[in-house]
Amino acid sequence: MVTVNGKDLDVAGQNLAAFLEVSGYKPVRIVVEINEEIIPRETYADITFNDGDCVEVVSFMGGGAL
């Protein structure tokens, strides 16, 4: 099991880049942290989830003053 944004998912052994694509994330608008380490975008294709990993995917949101 891998915890992604607080949810336990059965994605151990899956590639990070493929997971992001299937999940609908746009890599240019996110930051990925695995086990409290920020993952460089250019290495997403090289990363495989391990059982017990804790993953946070943070999306950037645009906004302005009210």
Digitized pLDDT (tens) for each residue of the chain, 66 residues in all: 999 999 999 999 999 999 999 999 988 889 999 999 999 999 999 999 999 999 999 987 766 565
Distance between CA atoms of residues 13 and 18, nearest Å: 11
Distance between CA atoms of residues 49 and 1, nearest Å: 9
Phi, psi of 5, rounded to the nearest 5 degrees = 50, 45
Contact 3, 11 (CB under 8 A): no
Does the pTM surpass 0.75? The reply is yes
C-beta neighbour count of 57 within 10 angstroms? 16
DSSP helix/strand/coil, 54: strand
Q: What pLDDT, in 10s, does the model give residues 26-44? A: 888 899 999 999 999 999 9
